Structure 1
Amino acid sequence: MAEDIFKDLGELNKEELYDLAVALYERDILIAKQNRVNLFRYDVADDTLFFVFVDRHDGEVRRRKTEHYLTSENYAFSTPTRSVCVNLFRDYIEGRKTEPTGSFEMPYKEGGQYLRCDYKCVYDRNGKLHSILGQFEDVTFTREKMLKTIEKQNEYMRIINSLKTSFESIIYFDLEKLNYSLISATDALKSVTKKNGTMNELAQIFCTAYVMPEYKKLFTDFINFDDLAERLKGKQYIMAEYATFHLGWVVARIIPANVNADGNVTHALLTSECADELHRETIFLRQAAETDGLTGLLNRYAGKREIEKCVSEKKVGVFALFDCDRFKQINDTLSHLVGDSVLVEIAQTMKETFKNQIVMRLGGDEFIVFITGSEVERRLKSKDGLVGMFDQMKLNLEGVTIPELEGTHITMSGGVVAYNNLEGVTFEDMYKLADEALYVSKKKRNGNITITCR
């Protein structure tokens, strides 16, 4: 390839130029791939400079012209390139440069334009400098691109260094090559994770030795590389929370780090931070927001939400509304503290009686139980079967002893609505019908339960 470039260049020494080509190729300067090449040769003895301009046309390299100049001090060079050459040669002649080959960049026009020179010194048999061969090219655009790349890399490093102070681990993803690099990590994570590898290897390592078993599917879906770039598109980050063996509860984010011209994410950062304390606080606040403070049952908000969720998934169900008989009398004659004790005992009895079902305190002395499952389906075949579902609750309440009641048993009246088909049914629908049934029960003796089938 080098011989083709320098073919038929006339005055220039072909062997010397071939040496130059080899030197330039060794420096990864692919002359043949450039659109235009400015070659020169400076002969030290007669202070003569040759310029050869070579360009490519239809894929072939051809010589455009050869120019011959004398480099005397009085010669007025018309182009910056030639002036640069003269300065370079004089540096050599005056002994200020000693490297046999090399390169340098320097500005040659106002406005920040840069010229790059790659050169090779040729010596005679006595070791005396005979000539200098070289190539010039305008690297302004390349230099600007390189500076922008460096600036971008520096910005990334500033961001990463900032992230290191906030996160326990940072992993860099190349979504095009599907590789990862561990930027920073705790000792525990380093012990189970390689510094570099494929993203599939990382997923396997995490699922095997890092993420708790019950959260493996969540983590696998979160880090799924098949659609990760698509899920990140147009977003600042995506987030997941899961439990790990080493850090406890972790909040992880995948943050886009680079986006190509098409708007597709090509690189991303996986960050992890320990959230054990935050998770405990969140659980505490959630429980406080969803739990009745006195009885420990679900409160109205949480119970309604759970029932609505269950209705959307089940075909049959029983909605039962209860209130405590003579509760106002207990509060008025025995004190509200005794009344609170009664409510606590009722809640405990209902939880034990209706295990794995939704039990909630609606407010005051009213409670709701929502029952589903195969047992309900079997008992729905007859009204007597449904009555039997609540007999155990009555028996359990009879076993409750509160000294202030002086042997009087706690009884509850109820209104029950049984559904063979829950499709289209709302919480309000069930509550309204159960309340009507409860009203009927309250007109009868204490402990009565009225059942309606729909």
Structure 2
Amino acid sequence: MEKLGSTFFKADILEYMSFGKWVIEADPGKEPRLYCDEVALRLLNIPAGNDPEKDYRDWLAAVAPSSLERLIAAGKHVAETGYGEFQYLWKHPTRGNRYIHFIGVRNVSYTDGVRIEGIIRDITDKVWNETLTREEMKEGLDAIQGLASEYVILHFINLETGSYSSYFYEPDISQKTIRLNSTEKSYYEMYERSIRSICHPDYLDEMLKLGKRENMIEELRHKKKSVHRFLGKTHENQYEWFDYVLIKFDPIDEEPTRAAAGYINVDQDQVEVLEYQRMAEGVGKIFDFSIYISLPDETYRVIRDTDESTPERDKNAFTYLRSRAKSIGKKNVRESLEKWFEVENVVAKLEKYSRISRDFYNDIEKKWYRANFLIGDRNEDGSISHIIYGRRDITKTKLIEIQQQEDAAAGEAIVRSLAKMYFTMLEINVKDRRIHVIRIPEFMNERFVVDGETYDDLKDKFVRMCVDLDYRDSVREFLDYPTLLERLRKQGYVQKNYLGQTEGWCRMTFVPVTNEDTGEIEKIVFAVASINAEKKREESIKYQADHDELTGLLNRTAFSRIEEELKNNTDRRAIMIVDIDHFKEVNDTYGHVVGDAVLCQAADILRHSFRKKDYVVRFGGDEFVVIFNECGDGFADRIRNKIRNINEVLQHPTKEDMPAFSISAGVTVFEDSYSKEIFKQADDALYQTKVNGRAGCTFYDDMMKTSVPQWRK
């Protein structure tokens, strides 16, 4: 016997060296010949010491014909597929039931016929140790007694570990067996791979779900047997009906741990009868009138008819349906329905949609009906072979639908009205936190699709993509879902203003929708409105409150607020008080119009002469105050030069109607907390400037405590 190469097997050949080897040769026109080595002879109960080159076919046929059948069947399978691995329950002539594992491969270099080379090993103890005890095996075999000849394949499964062994009952495995050549250690892995390769797509999801460990255990938790029918592919690549059967070995009231799983090839005629009965039962529950139509002869069987006024039935299904349509009152509805019942029209639409329906109103009965056509079955070429027609009374649901449409129309009107206020409106289902879009602007739709998303996903995207960076933390805190529900229960509704990235100022509002009976919040309406106009009005009011109407500078009210800020600041700062020299004479000489122009020019030049972070205030009349933040080295020289340059400009006006004038200033620098005394120091410095001849700037020093007249103190 030739030595078998390791490339023939999925496991290392060294693992199998102690097992029996077998060879089948089938030359054209001759009976197959069987050769075995000494180990294989012992497994087959053939006396040891025989010539390994001897053909044992006749001997085995005489003493163990079933063993020979299985070997020949295995050989045929390997001849067709090139490789095979099987486990058989071997009825040994003297040792009882044994589990025998076969591995075989076709020798492609043998050209005189077909040569199959393989290995045999006894795995009875291995199977029992890993999966089932002897008592459990006996119980399992008893449980399937009488059905064994019907099973294509049986698997004995340890549901906890997933280990298993397989038993092929059907001798002619090349014709009947589903392709299940497996090497997976876990039954669940083998099952998934096998089902994916053989199961028709229409049944694949259901069968894959069944093959999960937890689902198999659940199937057998309260029953001994579970059956699932599916279309499976045979070796001939034809789909046939199979039942996948699960049998529980444990007592029925105990948790499933051991089971057998088998495939039975189902008789096709029986399947069609059962399928029709199942279909008729299901259709009968849905429709008050239904028929099963055969094509192309258009004959039919009535599944259900609850109408006592049914007209005499025509043999042709569509002629019969058109006759029923004649009992409808209005002519336009009747004629339209008769046209809808034309067979060519029905088949064409079913090829496209697989199901079509139409609602119609019977003016005589004062009822609404829904007519339906569905595909009942198809021919092998995919064309429609059977059609189901069903009709049911939908008067109650139609009236509700009409009412809902009217309510929806009213709701649309409300939404359109609200849309003038809110550019975004969403509805949040409290139970699953899913979002339903009521209204959303284009710019948001381009960024993210929210319909059906969860609130948490939307919240993160909304904050990241719609809210200005400075407001994100506060908005994220406001949108926190658990605290949001609590706030809504207490307050009724909640709002927050924020600055958007592109939309400007916005206000978000949450309003709860409660259950009338329980008072619990079922939904939340989320709305966003633009408040740019409102913000502008607020800013305008605030500006007017803080600014001088004539000059546009900050006014005395704003100065009072700034004073409070200065009290909490200990940086080196300064206050300068400025007034216009001889302003009363300007008013008396040129009038108040020119006087106002002089005030505006002084305000304008002061505004543009100092930094943006410094405050310029019209304190009253012709008096101004400048507050300097952060006074560094050389500050006094810079301010003196500024005042000198300002006076140079003011004393040489460019407009003919503008008189020349000058300003005087007094400055005090301080580092302590601000007080009224500091303001008085700047005022004393201003007085000293006027004493010195005006049109200049004086910085306060301690000498002024004695030089300033007593009446000013």
TM-score, structure 1 as length reference: 0.53
Aligned to 1:445: 693
> Aligned equivalents of 2:682 and 2:487: distance in 1?
46
Query: What SS does the corresponding residue of 2:491 show, helix, strand or coil?
Result: coil
Q: Secondary structure at the match of 2:456?
A: helix
Q: How does 1:269-348 map to 2 (within 5 A)?
A: 269-309=525-565, 311-313=567-569, 315-348=571-604
- Output the amino acid matched with 2:498: Y
CA 1:405 to 1:187, structure 2 compared with 1: closer, same or farther past 3 Å? closer
Q: Please state if 1:435 is matched with 2:683.
A: yes
Matches within 5 A, 1:208-227: 208-213=464-469, 215-217=471-473, 219-225=475-481, 227=483
In structure 2, what is the Cα distance between the partners aligned to 1:447 and 1:171? 66
1:207 is matched with which residue? 463
Report the 3-state secondary structure (helix = DSSP H, G, I; strand = E; otherwise coil) of the residue aligned with 1:315.
coil
1:370 aligns with 2:627: yes
Higher relative contact order, chain-length normalized (CA < 8 Å, sep 6+): 1
Question: Which residue of structure 1 aligns with residue 128 of structure 2?
Answer: none
Shift of the 158–308 alpha-carbon distance from structure 1 to 2, 3 Å rule, reads farther
8 Å Cα contact 1:210/1:244 also seen in 2: yes
| Separation in 2, partners of 1:359, 1:438 | 16
Residues 189 and 312 of structure 1: CA distance in aligned 2, closer, same or farther (over 3 Å) = same
SS of the aligned residue for 1:234 comes to helix
Number of the residue aligned with 2:41? none
Take 1:351 and 1:337, find their aligned partners in 2: how far apart are those partners? 21
| Mapping of residues 118-267 of structure 1, within 5 Å | 163=418, 166-173=421-428, 179-193=434-448, 194-213=450-469, 215-217=471-473, 219-225=475-481, 227-229=483-485, 234-244=490-500, 247-257=503-513
Give the AA of the match of 1:366.
E
Q: Which moved more, 1:344-353 or 1:198-207?
A: 198-207
How far 1:307 moved relative to its partner? Answer: 4.5
Q: Aligned partners of 1:445, 1:228: CA distance in 2, in Å?
A: 68
**Range with greater deviation from structure 2 (162-171 or 389-398):** 162-171
Distance 1:233 1:416, change over 3 A: farther
Tell me how far apart the structure 1 counterparts of residues 677 and 524 of structure 2 sit (CA, whole Å).
Answer: 49
Q: Identical aligned pairs, as a percentage?
A: 24
Paired with 1:409 and 1:187, the residues of 2 have a C-alpha distance of: 59
Q: How many residues get paired?
A: 295
Quote the offset at 1:278 in angstroms: 3.1
Which of 399, 411, 416 is the equivalent residue of 2:649? 399
For 2:529, give the aligned amino acid: E
Distance in 1 separating the partners of 2:545 and 2:430: 41
1:412 pairs with 653, 663, 669, which one?
663
**What letter corresponds to residue 683 of structure 2 in structure 1?**
D
8 A contact 1:314–1:372 mirrored in 2:
no
Does the 8 Å CA contact 1:334/1:404 hold for their aligned counterparts? no
1:191 partner letter: E
Give the aligned partner of residue 148 of structure 1: none
What amino acid sits opposite 1:392 in the alignment? K
Larger Rg: 2
Shift of residue 333, structure 1, vs aligned partner: 1.1
2:582 & 2:697 partners in 1: Cα distance?
16
How big is the shift at 1:339?
2.0
CA gap of 1:158–1:186, structure 2 versus 1, over 3 A, is: closer
CA contact (8 A) 2:616 2:625 kept: yes
Per-residue CA distance 1:224-261 (angstroms, 9 max, x = gap): 447545555633444333344664432222345459xx
Q: Distance in 1 between matches of 2:430 and 2:569?
A: 38
AA aligned to 2:611 is K
Residues 1:421 and 2:676 aligned together: no
Q: Distance between the aligned counterparts of 1:407 and 1:183, measured in 2?
A: 63
**329-338 vs 271-280, which deviates more?**
271-280
Structure 1 position 399, deviation (Å): 2.0
Take 1:415 and 1:196, find their aligned partners in 2: how far apart are those partners?
68
Q: Letter of the aligned partner of 1:250 in structure 2?
A: C
What is the distance in 2 between the residues matched to 1:362 and 1:226?
Answer: 51
Partners of 1:416 and 1:438 within 8 A in 2: yes
Q: Structure 2-normalised TM-score?
A: 0.35
In structure 1, what residue type is equivalent to 2:627?
F
For residues 452 and 192 of structure 1, the distance between their equivalents in structure 2, rounded to whole angstroms, comes to 61
CA distance in 2, matches of 1:449, 1:314: 25
Question: Judging changes above 3 Å, is the alpha-carbon distance between structure 1 residues 418 and 163 closer, same or farther for their aligned structure 2 residues?
Answer: same
- Within 5 Å, which residues of 2 pair with 1:19-34? none
Distance 2:568 2:580 in 1: 30
CA distance in 1, matches of 2:565, 2:489: 32
CA separation of 1:392 and 1:222: change in aligned 2, threshold 3 A: farther
SS at match of 2:490: coil
Counterpart of 2:312 in structure 1 is: none
Report the residue type matching 1:288 in the other structure. Q
Equivalent-residue separation in structure 2 for 1:397 and 1:387 (angstroms): 16
Q: How is 1:33-182 mapped onto 2 (pairs within 5 angstroms)?
A: 163=418, 166-173=421-428, 179-182=434-437
Q: Is the 8 A contact 2:647 2:695 kept in 1?
A: no
Unaligned segments of structure 2, at least 5 residues? 1-304, 307-407, 703-713
Distance 1:310 1:179 in 2: 51
Shift of 1:298: 1.4
Distance in 1, Cα, partners of 2:594 & 2:611: 26
**What is the aligned partner in structure 1 of residue 636 from structure 2?**
386
Deviation at 1:366, TM superposition (A): 1.0
Distance in 2 of aligned mates of 1:176 and 1:316: 59
Distance 2:431 2:691 in 1: 74
Deviations 1:359-395 (A, max 9, x none): 111121111111112xx1x34xxxx743533422331
State the Cα distance separating 1:292 from its structure 2 match: 1.7
What is the one-letter code of the residue matched to 1:446?
R
Secondary structure at the counterpart of residue 196 of structure 1: coil
Output the CA distance in 2 between the equivalents of 1:240 and 1:387.
49
Q: Structure 1's 166 and 308: CA in aligned 2 closer, same or farther, altered over 3 A?
A: same
Distance 2:573 2:643 in 1: 18
Provide the secondary structure at the position in 2 that maps to 1:296: coil
Secondary structure of the residue aligned to 2:453 is strand
- The whole-number CA distance in structure 1 between the counterparts of 2:520 and 2:575 is 51
